[in-house]
Amino acid sequence: MPEPQHQSHPQPRRIDLHTHSNVSDGTETPADLVASAVAAGLDVVGLTDHDTTEGWAEARRAAEVQGIQLVPGIELTARQGWTSVHVLGYGFDPQAASLLELNATAQRERLERARTMVERLAADYPISWESVAHEAHGVIGRPHIADALVNAGVVPDRSAAFQDILRPDSQYYVAHAAPTPLTVVMAIAEAGGATVLAHPAGRTRPLDEPVLAELVNAGLAGLEVWHRDNTAAGREWLLGLVNRWNLVATGSSDYHGMGKPNRLGENLTSESMFERLARRAGFPAFP
């Protein structure tokens, strides 16, 4: 009997392509995150820490031992005018000069901005730079300031901090410089990878269609359609764009461990969309 060409999977694989470890603002180590992904019944998990690839090695080792497929990725912070834009990258060379430069700059900007925010906050709340830095294990962000506020008893949890003290319109908020999404999409393309816009129809003003078209022309592969931050109307709009421009539509949890209510696998990416993304990013979908 000839061997079947493709051993088809008994059930559709459960694919979640957007999660964070404590190397950025998640609460679990990369290895623990991988264990959580196994426990959640995932077959494929993407690690997409903010502005860093430092978690890849540990996650890879854990994934190999625990028998789950890891897709190493990143979520890069960009800004277009007043709109904050998050760009997910997959299948790129983390040592590419374009990437190293973007990450180094982002991390420097984040540090400086966190210091200024903490200076402002320390005038009114019992937190210090040390108490905030203690919460960060890699790339720092507002969630670590939130953790220090929680530890000081100022707020009950991260979400409460974000609803009030850490909001962009708060007197304590400081913005940090960020590249445009076009720069980020081109940098990941140059590093041999593919990009997907994270939660593109969420709480902040979405990008205009002409800007999105420009990103698609520059190589943007997909849109994260199924994400809890996208509004229902926003998802419909995104699906229209996916059809019009033949894009990859992904679904993901944006899991941050205990740092956010998002649960692993709450949104999934279909096998066929994942195969298309993998082809665009140049890695085997199901090795």
- 260 is a contact residue toward ligand AMP (CB under 6 A): yes
Radius of gyration of the chain (CA): 19
158 binds, among Zn ion, ligand AMP, Fe ion, none (CB under 5 to 8 A by kind): ligand AMP
Q: Indicate the SS3 state at residue 190.
A: helix
Strand partners, 220: none
Please say which residue, 165 or 241, places its beta carbon nearer to ligand AMP: 165
- Half-sphere exposure of residue 223, counting CA atoms within 13 Å on the CB side? 26
Please say which residue, 114 or 278, places its beta carbon nearer to ligand AMP: 114
What is the pattern of x (binds ligand AMP, CB under 6 A) and - over residues 10-39?
Answer: ---------------x--------------
Total Cβ atoms within 10 A of residue 14: 17
Q: Which stretch binds Fe ion (CB under 5 A): 23-31, 113-121, 130-138, 150-158?
A: 23-31
Q: Can you tell me which of 256, 265, 268, 280 binds ligand AMP, judged by CB under 6 A? A: 256
**CA-to-CA distance for 212 and 66, rounded, in angstroms?**
38
**CA-to-CA distance for 117 and 159, rounded, in angstroms?**
17
- 227 is a contact residue toward ligand AMP (CB under 6 A): no
Instruction: Provide the minimum distance between the beta carbon of 216 and ligand AMP in the complex, in angstroms, as a whole number.
Output: 24
- 254 is a contact residue toward Zn ion (CB under 5 A): yes
Q: What is the DSSP string of 42-91?
A: -SEEEE--BT--TTHHHHHHHHHHHT-EEEEEEEEEEEETTEEEEEEEES
Residue number closest to ligand AMP, CB atom: 141
Q: Of 155, 132, 153, which Cα lies nearest the Cα of 144?
A: 132
**How far from each other are the two terminal CA atoms of the chain, in whole angstroms?**
24
- 257 is a contact residue toward ligand AMP (CB under 6 A): no
- 198 is a contact residue toward Fe ion (CB under 5 A): yes
Q: Of 256, 248, 188, which Cα lies nearest the Cα of 218?
A: 188
Q: Can you tell me which of 55, 91, 138, 141 binds ligand AMP, judged by CB under 6 A? A: 141
Which residues in the 56-115 window bind Zn ion by CB under 5 A? 75
147 binds, among Zn ion, Fe ion, ligand AMP, none (CB under 5 to 8 A by kind): none
- 86 is a contact residue toward Fe ion (CB under 5 A): yes
**CA-to-CA distance for 109 and 12, rounded, in angstroms?**
41
Strand partners, 83: 80
Please say which residue, 147 or 154, places its beta carbon nearer to Zn ion: 147
Q: Can you tell me which of 46, 143, 251, 257 binds ligand AMP, judged by CB under 6 A? A: 143
Q: Which residues bind Zn ion (CB under 5 A)?
A: 75, 254
Q: Which residues bind ligand AMP (CB under 6 A)?
A: 25, 50, 141-143, 158-159, 162, 256, 259-260
